[in-house]
Chain A
Amino acid sequence: MFETLILILDSTLRLSTPLLLACLAGLYSERSGVVDIGLEGKMLGAAFGAGAVAYLTASAWAGLAAGIAVAVGLALVHGFASITNRGNQIVSGVAINFLAAGLTALLGQAWFRQGGRTPPLPEGGRFLDIVFPFAEELRAVPVVGPIYAELLSGHNVLVYAAFLAVPLTWWALYRTRFGLRLRAVGENPAAVDTAGISVVLLRYRAVILCGVLCGIAGAYLSIAQSSGFIKDMTAGKGFIALAALIFAKWRPLNAMFACLLFGFLDAVAIRLQGQPLPGIGEVPVQVFQALPYILTVILLAGFIGKAIPPRASGIPYLKERT
């Protein structure tokens, strides 16, 4: 039983990582007042960029850089449409999801001719698991051993980076000048503008940060968790991350717990497939798949607390001109 729990928690960490990175990405963007439903697309584009470059260069780091570059590129398109041109942010996000879904499949097939996937990555093209010192020796120790050896050790560098990004984001948001301005521009851009700070520049920086984090999330999918890009490999994770962001009420620490919860549901669903639950019987796997979305809807309805987005989110800022 304990062993099963450790295994489920272990895969929870792995499954939460891309959600957490994308969720924090959305957090920066939406805290600055730019709604982003293109997380899915940016993640998918990054996964493809990372997979393709990691295959060609046999370097995981080059792959990661390519993934980030692709996601930042898409983020800049979103920024150009929604900040510079004051277009509808939701429409722009939808467009980015389509562009990424289409381009990755199209270019993947045109360049690699393997049904839209990249070839398996060569040696060095993947982020490998990091084994903590003495992990194997400590494995036999009861309780602490499995937690250390199985749960904490043996993940790749991006998993640790994702969880490290949580305190970093908290610090950046609540303890730096940039963070203060970022939060202010998401609540009241006119006030920030009056203070002589450029709303446009601030929002662009937030959107780029969002791209960087989405890039890492996508790279995690294709060159850390799997060995290569597969068509549509994000499979709605960007939207789960969006749900988690709402669930977390746009706060970094809550984001981590929301992503861990959604990752846990996923891990349990995989574990329980075809197995009866004591007292309930067999639960269809679709219930677990739909649960994050259902929970988010219930939260949005205000039945469990209230999710209040940043006040200026979704509204393009227009400096008054006469």
Chain B
Amino acid sequence: MSAGQLPRWVDFGLIPLLNLAAAFLVSGLVVLLIGESPLEAVGILVWGSLGFGEGIGFTLFYATNFIFTGLAVAVAFHAGLFNIGGEGQAYIGGLGVAWACLALDRIVPWWVTMPVAVLGAAAAGAAWAFVPAWLQARRGSHVVITTIMFNFIAASLMVYLLVNVMAKPGSMQPETRTFEAGGRLPMLNDLLPFASFGTAPVNLALVLALVAALAVWVLVWRTRLGYAIRTLGANPTAAVYAGISPARTIVVAMLISGGLAGMMAINEIMGSQHRLLIEFVSGYGFVGIAVALMGRAHPLGIVLAAILFGMLYQGGAELSFEKPAITRDMIVVIQGLVILFAGALEHMFRPTLVRIFTFARAPSATVG
């Protein structure tokens, strides 16, 4: 270990924990500013998210969304790309799910519809990520800016489609008709005899999300493509020397990223809402950024971070019910602070820690 380096457990354990602690400390200050007790708020939050079956169910339901969007951001991260477009890709992914479900729900059972819907979601999300990817790879336009633009274009497109094209006949609501049984994923409540998630919509998509996390791990660390992606992200020049085509790798990584983001729609549309509606993504795509940063772009970290954010979402709902002054916007604040401390300020504590650890090791070094 050379000077200025830290042990692995500090790099991957202590620093993220310190960043997280800083984010929660500032969040506590915000709660104080509102005139409520942060400790009491934490108590309600934890109880609301883990204290009873239905709470756990909702926590897992939200976590499912965040695993998908977090993995999406992470795969792009490994290729050195920052995919801010998860929001738009998930939104368009909803189109794929809806098409599959609307076409099949009256003819076949759910287990026939599901693979088609998953493919539809992934294909639609990937397609929406393809244009920014292609533009980055071939024309050098920055993927961050284009994916932001594509989020807004997706929102406009979906409003147009839902109002003018896909709306349920005779309804003023901008949404499709409700899917029949063939277009609905089974709830975990019905699958597991011992589960007691109450009315929480946690469904089979959770299993799909965990499979996706495993698949991403295999892809990134155990395949040739994953090697190409990581090499490109670590050093684009070296990647070229290693015979990796940057353009091709950028496009493929973004397609996978967009596909994962799109699959979030499975959980919301086929698993819970059972119809395509306006703004069903409602920021989950952006949460993926915080989840990926906190999970350090590793699938295991992402699953843990997704559960934490699921707790924040469910516990936050409970909190705003108990303490009307602390609205659900508190989650957005915490999210911003997590992104700030775990992402933009990730190295703030580093110099101090390096000093502490070099100091601690110094005596043995002089003796040796």
| A contact residues vs B (CB 8 Å cutoff) | 37, 77, 80-82, 85-92, 94-103, 105-107, 109-110, 116, 236, 239, 242-243, 246, 284, 286-287, 289-290, 293-294, 296-297, 300-302, 307, 309
Please state if B329 and A102 are interface contacts (CB–CB under 8 Å): yes
Q: How far is the CA of A297 from the CA of B144 in the complex (A)?
A: 11
B278 on the interface (CB 8 Å rule)? no
13 A-B residue pairs with CB within 8 Å: A87-B346, A87-B347, A90-B82, A96-B336, A98-B336, A105-B329, A106-B330, A109-B327, A110-B325, A286-B156, A286-B160, A301-B135, A302-B139
B329-344 vs A, CB cutoff 8 Å, 1 = contact: the mask equals 1111111110110011
User: Which of chain B's residues have a CB closer than 8 A to the CB of A95?
Assistant: 336-337, 339-340, 343-344
- Among B310-342, those with CB < 8 Å from A are 325-327, 329-337, 339-340
Please judge, given known A-B contacts A101-B332, A106-B329, whether A286 and B159 are in contact too, CB under 8 Å: yes
A88 contact set on B, CB distance < 8 A: 82, 343-344
* Contact indicator B344/A37 (Cβ below 8 Å): no
Cα A309 to Cα B144 in complex, Å, equals: 13
A232 to chain B, nearest CB (A): 10
B368 smallest CB distance to A (angstroms): 25
CB neighbours (8 Å) of B197 from chain A are: none
Tell me which of A109, A242, A302 has the highest count of chain B C-beta atoms within 10 A of its own C-beta.
A109
Chain B residues near A287 (CB-CB < 8 A): 156, 160
Residues of chain A within 8 A of B340, CB atoms compared: 77, 81, 92, 95-96, 99
- Chain A residues lying within 8 Å of B286, measured Cβ to Cβ, are 94, 98
Interchain CA distance A96-B149 in the complex, whole Å: 18
B160 and A284 contacting across the interface, CB-CB below 8 Å: yes
Q: Do B34 and A106 touch across chains, with their CB atoms under 8 A apart?
A: yes
Which listed residue, B144, B146, B345, touches A90 by the CB 8 Å rule?
A: B144
CB-defined contacts of A309 to chain B, threshold 8 Å: 142
A102 / chain B contacts, CB cutoff of 8 Å = 329-336
Q: In the complex, what residues of A have CB within 8 A of residue B114's CB?
A: none
**CB of A233 to closest CB in B, whole Å:** 14
A312 to B158, CA, bound (A): 37
Expressed in whole angstroms, the minimum distance between the Cβ of A81 and any Cβ of chain B is 4
Inter-subunit contact B145/A106 (CB<8 Å):
no
Q: Do the beta carbons of B150 and A297 come within 8 Å of each other?
A: yes
Interface residues of B, Cβ cutoff 8 Å to A: 30, 33-35, 82, 84, 131, 135, 139-142, 144-146, 148-150, 152-153, 156-157, 159-160, 164, 286, 289, 293, 325-327, 329-337, 339-340, 343-348
Assembled-state Cα–Cα distance A88/B142 (Å): 15
A221 CB to closest chain B CB (Å) equals 18
What's the nearest-Cβ distance from chain A to residue B113, in Å?
A: 29
Q: Find chain A residues with CB under 8 A from B347 CB.
A: 85-87
- Chain A residue at smallest Cβ distance from B346: A87
Given A99-B333, A106-B333, A296-B149, A116–B344 Cβ distance below 8 Å? Answer: no
Assess the B148–A37 pair: CB atoms within 8 A.
yes
Beyond the given pairs A102-B329, A107-B34, A246-B145, 10 more chain A to chain B contacts, judged by CB atoms under 8 angstroms and listed by A's residue number, are A88-B343, A90-B82, A90-B84, A102-B331, A110-B326, A116-B329, A239-B152, A242-B148, A243-B149, A296-B145
| CB pair B149 A297 closer than 8 Å | yes
Complex Cα–Cα for A97 and B344 (A): 13
**B82, B326, B336: which contacts A97 (Cβ < 8 A)?**
B336
**Is there an interface contact between A106 and B344, defined as CB atoms closer than 8 Å?**
no
B153 contacts which of A94, A246, A284, A294 (Cβ < 8 Å)? Answer: A294
In the bound assembly, the distance between CA atoms of A302 and B325 in angstroms comes to 49
Which residue of chain B has its CB nearest to the CB of A303? B139
- Which A residues are in CB contact (< 8 Å) with B334? 102
B343 touches A301 (CB 8 A): no
6 closest A-B pairs by CB = A98-B336, A102-B332, A92-B344, A102-B333, A300-B141, A99-B336
Would A85 and B156 count as touching, CB distance under 8 A? no
Known: A90-B82, A91-B293. A290 touches B156 (CB 8 A): yes
A103 neighbours in B (Cβ, 8 Å): 30, 329, 333, 336
Cross-chain contact of B348 among A85, A97, A286 (Cβ < 8 A) = A85
A236 interface neighbour in B30, B152, B336, B345, Cβ under 8 Å: B152
Taking a contact as CB atoms closer than 8 A, the residue among B149, B157, B339 that contacts A94 in the complex is: B339
Q: When the two chains form the complex, which single residue of A94, A239, A302 contacts B141, counting CB atoms closer than 8 Å?
A: A302
**Are the CB atoms of A109 and B333 closer together than 8 Å?**
no
Given A82-B344, A106-B326, A302-B139; A98-B149 close (CB under 8 Å): no
Distance in Å from the Cβ of A173 to the closest Cβ of chain B? 22
Q: Please, which residues of chain B bring their CB within 8 A of the CB of A81?
A: 340, 344-345
- The residues of B that contact A77 with a CB separation of less than 8 Å are 340
A99 to B330, CA, bound (A): 10
Chain B CB count within 10 A is highest, among A90, A116, A236, A246, for A90
Contacts of A37 in B (CB 8 A): 144, 148
Q: Could you tell me the distance between the alpha carbons of A38 and B336 in the complex, rounded to whole angstroms? A: 12
